[in-house]
Amino acid sequence: MSALLPIVHRIPPRLYRTSRSLRRVAVIILVVLIVFLATSAYSAVRLITSSAHQSGGFSAGLASNETVEVNGSLAFSNPGFYPVQGFEITLRVLNATGVFLGESTDGPIVLPAGGSTVFPVTFTIPISGTSAAESLLVSDQPLTTDAWGNATFAFLFPVSVRVAQNQSWGAPFANLAISPGPPTGNVVPVTISFSNHANFPDVGALEVALDSSGGLRCANANYGINEPPGGVYSQTQDFTLGSGCSIQGGYALATYTTAIGSFVLPREALP
C-alpha cells in the first residue's frame, strides 16, 4: 500500500532547517578561511622571495642638531594579493659596552598589493650629551644595531621581524691628538692630528682652546680643515698664552665648526 503512495517533498521542519543552516554557515566560513590562508601563504612566499633591496644607497653625515644622520631608502615590491599595512622600522644602536646611543623610527607606510614602494629610512645618532656619544667623534668602535620591522600582513597577521647586526663605526676625528710642544716664552706650538675614518669629509674649522687646570682659558686658535674620508690630518700652530696662565695639567677643548653647526669634541688632558 505504501509503495503506491506518491512521493511528496515537503519543507523540512524548522529545527532541521536551523541545524542545516548552522552547518552551512560553518562550512562557508571554513572554505573562505582555507582560501584566505592558502592565498596568504602564497602571497607571503611571493613577498619574501621578492625581498627588499637598497634604492640609491645610504649616506651618512653630521647633522645640525649634534647628530650623525644616516639617510637612505629601501625599495619593496609586493607581488602578492594582500597589502602590508602599518609597516615601520625602529632602529636602536648600542656601543661596544652596551651603552644605548640612539633610537629612531621610520614609517609607517602601506605596501599595496601588487605594487611597489620606496621606504625612506632616516636614522640619527646623537653625538653629544654623554661621553659614550661624544666618543663617536674620536673613536672607531663596533656598534650593535637592532632593527625591528613591524607590519600587518593580509589584514589579520601582525608580523614582527628583528635583525641584530654588528657594524663598525669610523670616527671623523679618529685618534684625535692635541699635543703641545715645548713653550718659548708664552708661545706654545700645538700639533693637532687625527684621521678621518668616517665616510663623509671633515670640512670647516677646528677651534682649539687650551684651558688651565683651574678652568681658565689660556689661549685658543682655529685650524682650517678639509679632510676627505680616509685622510690623515696633522698641523702645528703656535698658541700665545695669556699672562700667568699655565696649561700644565690642563685641558684642550676642540670644537668642530662646519656649515651645518658646531660639534664639541671630547676634551683632551694636557701633560
Partner 1 sequence: MSATPAASIPESPRAEARYNVPSLAYRVTIGSVRGVVYVILLVVLPVALLNFLASLSIPFPITVEAEEIYGLVVAILLAARYVLRPTRAYGPLCMAVAAATFLFFALLLFHSTYDLATPQSAVDISITFTDVVLILLLVPTFTFFAGVVTTIEDARSPGERLEFDYPP
Q: Which residues contribute to the site for partner 1 (CB under 8 A)? A: 2-3, 5, 7, 12-13, 15-16, 18-20, 22-23, 25-26, 29-30, 33, 36-37, 153, 156-165
**Dihedral-angle region of residue 185 (phi above 0 means left; psi in -120 to 50 means alpha; beta otherwise):** left
Comparison of 92 and 267: residue with beta carbon closer to partner 1: 92
Tell me if 101 sits within 8 A of 136, measured CB to CB. Answer: yes
Q: Minimum distance between the CB of residue 92 and partner 1, rounded to whole angstroms? A: 14
C-beta separation of 138 from 176 below 8 A: yes
CA distance 240 to 187: 4
Residue 86 to residues 50, 154, 165, Cα–Cα distance (Å): 19, 11, 24
Those residues whose C-beta lies under 8 Å from the C-beta of residue 50, and which sit 6 or more positions away, are: 76, 77, 78, 79
Minimum CB distance to partner 1 smaller for 23 or for 217: 23
Q: How far is the CB of 78 from partner 1 (least distance, A)?
A: 16
**Distance in Å, CB of 139 to partner 1, minimum:** 24
CB of residue 31 to partner 1, shortest distance in Å: 10
In the complex with partner 1, the residue whose CB is nearer, 160 or 184, is 160
- 82 in Cβ contact with 66 (< 8 Å): no
The C-alpha atoms of residue 210 and residue 216 are separated, in whole angstroms, by: 9
CB of 25 to partner 1, least distance (A): 5
Least separation in angstroms between residue 55's CB and partner 1 is: 21
Nearer to partner 1, 159 or 269 (CB): 159
**Of the two residues 100 and 157, which places its CB atom closer to partner 1 in the complex?**
157
Q: How far apart are CA 75 and CA 40, in angstroms?
A: 22
Whichever of 149 and 204 has its CB closer to partner 1, that residue is: 149
Of 76, 27, 23, 84, give the one whose Cα is nearest residue 54.
76
